[in-house]
Amino acid sequence: MAFNWDRFIRLANKLVKNKNEESYRSAVSRAYYASYNRSLDFIEKYIEMKKLQVPESWGKSKHLYVAYRLGKTKDPLINDIARDLKDLFDDRKEADYKKDVQIKIPTAITNIERARKITEQLDKGYNPLIRKTSV
């Protein structure tokens, strides 16, 4: 059975209850990965209809490309998801790599809420009128 990426959001909610920075950082990361993987699944199922191929011009940045690709649809709801995913990506990079940036509970909670919003929008956001756009 396939893993349900939404379980990362539930884990993030549990992590913030630990009330320490390492848990907040981990919660930000889990929230991002729930959203990223759900978005990737959505692209492959409804937009590309196949496994996503990242153009060479994007290097190895599949994470940024997923947000970019969502932003190229003709559906405003999916375009909003793209912006939120990019914001989550930026916060996740800070949480995972910037030791001089303090991550506090409001950041973790905001990211969990944003991830939940993304997954809810993806659940209701399939629009059969979405057309492939050139990238």
Q: Which amino acid is at 85?
A: L
Quick check: is 130 in a domain? no
pLDDT of 99: 97
Summarize the confidence of residues 61-83 as an average pLDDT: 89
Summarize the confidence of residues 53-80 as an average pLDDT: 86
pLDDT of 78: 87
What sign does the dihedral 62-67-71-74 (CA atoms) show? positive
Summarize the confidence of residues 66-82 as an average pLDDT: 89
Task: For residue 106, give its domain range.
Answer: 7-124
pLDDT of 56: 80
Quick check: is 118 in a domain? yes
pLDDT of 39: 95
Per the structure, the count of domains in the chain is 1
pLDDT of 113: 98
pLDDT of 28: 98
- CATH of residue 27's domain is 1.20.120.330
pLDDT of 132 over the 80 cut: no
pTM greater than 0.85 = yes
The whole-chain average pLDDT of the chain stands at 89
Q: Which of 5-19, 39-53, 74-88 has the lowest mean pLDDT?
A: 39-53
Quick check: is 2 in a domain? no
Quick check: is 131 in a domain? no
Quick check: is 129 in a domain? no
Quick check: is 18 in a domain? yes
Quick check: is 84 in a domain? yes
pLDDT of 135 over the 80 cut: no
More confident residue, 31 or 79: 31
Quick check: is 64 in a domain? yes
Residue 8 and residue 58: Cα distance in Å, rounded?
A: 27
